[in-house]
């Protein structure tokens, strides 16, 4: 008995530009793990010490997540005011959290107990950062000041004054150097050993976020819709980038400091190459992004949004290209593996059964109604519409299309109507899908009033799309006829090939019920 011939899937030409290697790299994530919180996620931070952990500041809670297991562990401390910022120390043992109460506190990551609290600011603490050594902290507040603290004694060592508006962000370069960004459009670099700022940089917009590479030479400043790159040693602006449509809320270096990323309220995170100073990749999210954190090896990315959604992405593991050598079990006197050489050996391979995909198995079993649901509903109908179109062509060839779409279950009918509505105007699929729509309307139009509510809504939407297609193609046919009449008197020959698509209006008109 011969084997079942698999359905030939029509290969259509690819539309759009091919993705670059950089874009493919930044799309190679596993399916995201998402946590819905009660308030906006204003700040997130990752720690890769003894595992991969993520802390998020959202409303009056600061939950801690284990990203390797994808589980929520516990909450850090208790807050009467909204938590605005947080920072995990480099050794992963402590976390500093600032809130709207003009103070910030330090907790133990292992016991979640409060270790120190710091009072002194007159406004909300917008950012708090550990120094590189971890023995001191810097805090940035709405009271226009930057303060430098000793962790052991919880005492204030210095207060830096000079900003004319709220200080919204900052970081610690070393044990003595601090960078602060303010809504007064400036970035200031402070030296703990001096009474005034060591450097002043004019950004031109309210500063939302700053980032510096490990070498301490490049400073990224974000504010408004602009991201600027500064050479700190030379005190000059290297580049000014405007790739976002709304306010840029966060910037950070990634890929071992060879690239940096920017997030915005326009739902996008963009990746920039430091060599070309241009956007190399783009990632879109479901809501306005307030903060994100990425490990330096790009293995984990945590994104906090204004909708309260925390989205965590993990990079797909790299495939092993090389196969390990097979141990034959034979060894010589010195313990070395020996491959036995066999002359004139013939290996008879057994015939392997051909693998059939699910749609071919259903086609082979003549389960046409179930087949229609499988190929049109997500995920297959959304990601591979060409499979559904090829199946419809085969059903038409077998003259069983009417049988396949008659008396469908509500779920399958809704999936089929949704698929047709989405793809029927696609030039690659229109000829086949018009035949399907014609049969479908002939069958279900007389009983449209008795349809379930959801199916009826989808059916009406399909009819609206078809009516729009009728108008567009009829107008195109009219333009083609007009060109024929205009050019008929000219000496130049003109041929307008209407093709199947321009004859489509006459086919659709029969569907307009």
The 10s digit of each residue's pLDDT in 311-337 is: 999 998 876 544 454 455 555 555 555
pLDDT grade, residue 141 (50/70/90)? very high
Q: Which residue has the tokens 């994530």?
A: 29
Find the distance separating the first CA and the last CA of the chain, reported in whole Å: 48
How high is the pLDDT of residue 323? 43
Please state the φ and ψ torsions of residue 220, each to the nearest 5 degrees: -100, 130
Residues in Cβ contact with 209 at an 8 Å cutoff, skipping those fewer than 6 apart: 168, 169, 181, 221, 222, 223, 248, 249, 250, 251
In the predicted structure, residue 447 carries a pLDDT above the cut 90: no
The 10s digit of each residue's pLDDT in 220-236 is: 999 999 999 999 988 89
Residues in Cβ contact with 168 at an 8 Å cutoff, skipping those fewer than 6 apart: 126, 127, 140, 181, 182, 183, 206, 207, 208, 209
How high is the pLDDT of residue 76? 85
56: left (phi over 0), alpha (psi -120 to 50) or beta: beta
Interaxial angle between packed helices 430-444 and 410-423, expressed in degrees from 0 to 180 and rounded to the nearest 10: 140
Assess contact for 260 and 296: CB atoms under 8 A: no
At 470, which helix (H) or strand (E)?
A: helix 453-487
Percent of the chain whose predicted confidence (pLDDT) is above 90: 47
The 10s digit of each residue's pLDDT in 269-284 is: 999 999 989 899 999 9
In the predicted structure, residue 16 carries a pLDDT above the cut 90: no
pLDDT grade, residue 339 (50/70/90)? low
In the predicted structure, residue 199 carries a pLDDT above the cut 70: yes
How high is the pLDDT of residue 478? 87
Residues in Cβ contact with 448 at an 8 Å cutoff, skipping those fewer than 6 apart: 456, 459
Instruction: Of 30-39, 87-96, 359-368, give the lowest mean pLDDT range.
Output: 359-368
Q: In the structure encoding, which two tokens stand for residue 172, read together?
A: 């610690």
In the predicted structure, residue 338 carries a pLDDT above the cut 60: no
The CA distance from 125 to 180, in Å, is 13
* Comparison of pLDDT for 17 and 436, the residue scoring more: 436
The 10s digit of each residue's pLDDT in 484-494 is: 888 887 655 44
pLDDT grade, residue 307 (50/70/90)? very high
Assess contact for 398 and 354: CB atoms under 8 A: no
Average pLDDT, the chain: 85
The CA distance from 201 to 188, in Å, is 6
**Residue 86 CA: distances (Å) to CA of 42, 60, 89, 305:** 9, 13, 10, 16
Domain ranges of the chain: 21-314, 358-511
In the predicted structure, residue 294 carries a pLDDT above the cut 60: yes
The CA distance from 461 to 455, in Å, is 10
How high is the pLDDT of residue 345? 59
Assess contact for 412 and 373: CB atoms under 8 A: yes
Instruction: Of 211-220, 331-340, 494-503, give the lowest mean pLDDT range.
Output: 494-503
pLDDT grade, residue 356 (50/70/90)? confident
How high is the pLDDT of residue 508? 42
Q: Nearest 5 degrees, angle CA 125-CA 131-CA 135?
A: 100
pLDDT grade, residue 507 (50/70/90)? very low
Instruction: Of 16-20, 131-135, 396-400, 429-433, give the lowest mean pLDDT range.
Output: 16-20
* Comparison of pLDDT for 512 and 35, the residue scoring more: 35
The 10s digit of each residue's pLDDT in 55-104 is: 999 989 999 999 998 889 988 877 889 999 999 999 999 999 999 998 89
Percent of the chain whose predicted confidence (pLDDT) is above 70: 86
CATH number, domain 21-314, options 2.30.30.100, 3.30.450.40, 3.40.50.970, 2.130.10.10: 2.130.10.10
What are 12-15's contacts with CB under 8 Å, separation 24+? 12/386, 12/428
The 10s digit of each residue's pLDDT in 434-445 is: 898 888 888 888
How high is the pLDDT of residue 261? 97
- Nearest CA to 249 among 269, 263, 261, 270? 263
Give 509's DSSP letter: G
Q: Which residues pair with 219 in a beta bridge?
A: 212, 230
* For range 420-436, the mean pLDDT: 88
């Amino acid at each position: 008995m011969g084997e079942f011939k698999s359905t030939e899937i029509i290969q259509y030409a690819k539309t759009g530009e091919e993705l670059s290697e950089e874009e493919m790299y930044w799309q190679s994530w596993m399916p995201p793990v998402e946590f819905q919180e009660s308030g906006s996620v204003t700040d997130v931070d990752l720690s890769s010490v003894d595992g991969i952990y993520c802390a998020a500041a959202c409303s009056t809670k600061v939950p801690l997540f284990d990203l390797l297991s994808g589980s929520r562990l516990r909450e850090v401390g208790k807050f009467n005011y909204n938590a605005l910022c947080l920072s995990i120390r480099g050794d992963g043992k402590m976390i500093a959290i600032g809130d709207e109460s003009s103070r910030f506190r330090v907790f133990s990551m292992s016991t979640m107990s409060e270790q120190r609290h710091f009072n002194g600011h007159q406004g909300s603490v917008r950012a708090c950062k550990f120094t590189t050594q971890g023995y001191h902290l810097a805090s940035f507040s709405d009271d226009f000041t930057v303060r430098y603290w000793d962790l052991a004694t919880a005492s204030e060592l210095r207060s830096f004054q000079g900003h004319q508006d709220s200080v919204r962000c900052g970081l610690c370069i070393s044990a003595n150097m601090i960078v602060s960004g303010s809504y007064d459009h400036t970035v200031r670099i402070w030296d703990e050993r001096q009474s005034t700022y060591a450097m002043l940089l004019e950004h031109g917009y309210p500063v939302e976020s700053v980032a510096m590479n490990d070498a301490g030479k490049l400073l990224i400043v974000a504010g408004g819709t602009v991201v600027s790159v500064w050479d700190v040693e030379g005190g000059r602006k290297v580049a000014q980038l405007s790739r976002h449509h709304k306010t840029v809320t966060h910037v950070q270096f990634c890929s071992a400091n060879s690239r940096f990323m920017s997030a915005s309220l326009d739902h996008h995170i963009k990746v920039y190459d430091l060599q070309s100073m241009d956007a190399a990749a783009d990632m879109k999210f479901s809501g306005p992004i307030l903060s994100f954190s990425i490990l330096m090896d790009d293995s984990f990315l945590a994104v906090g949004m204004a909708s309260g959604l925390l989205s965590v992405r993990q990079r797909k593991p790299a495939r092993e290209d090389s196969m390990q050598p097979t141990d034959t079990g034979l060894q010589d006197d010195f313990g070395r593996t020996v491959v036995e050489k066999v002359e004139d050996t013939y290996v008879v391979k057994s015939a392997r059964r051909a693998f059939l995909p699910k749609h071919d198995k259903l086609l082979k079993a003549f389960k046409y109604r179930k087949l229609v649901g499988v190929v049109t509903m997500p995920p297959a109908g959304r990601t591979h519409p060409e499979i559904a179109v090829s199946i419809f062509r085969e059903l038409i060839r077998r003259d069983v299309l009417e049988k396949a779409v008659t008396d469908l279950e509500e779920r399958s009918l809704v999936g089929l109507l949704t698929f047709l509505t989405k793809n029927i105007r696609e030039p690659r699929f229109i000829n086949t899908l018009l035949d399907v729509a014609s049969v479908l309307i002939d069958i279900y139009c007389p009983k449209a009033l008795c349809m379930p509510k959801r199916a009826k809504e989808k059916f009406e939407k399909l009819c609206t799309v078809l009516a729009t297609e009728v108008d567009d193609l009829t107008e195109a046919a009219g333009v083609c006829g007009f060109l024929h009449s205009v050019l008929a008197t000219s000496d130049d020959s003109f041929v307008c090939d209407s093709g199947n698509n321009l004859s489509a209006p006459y086919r659709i008109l029969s569907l307009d019920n």
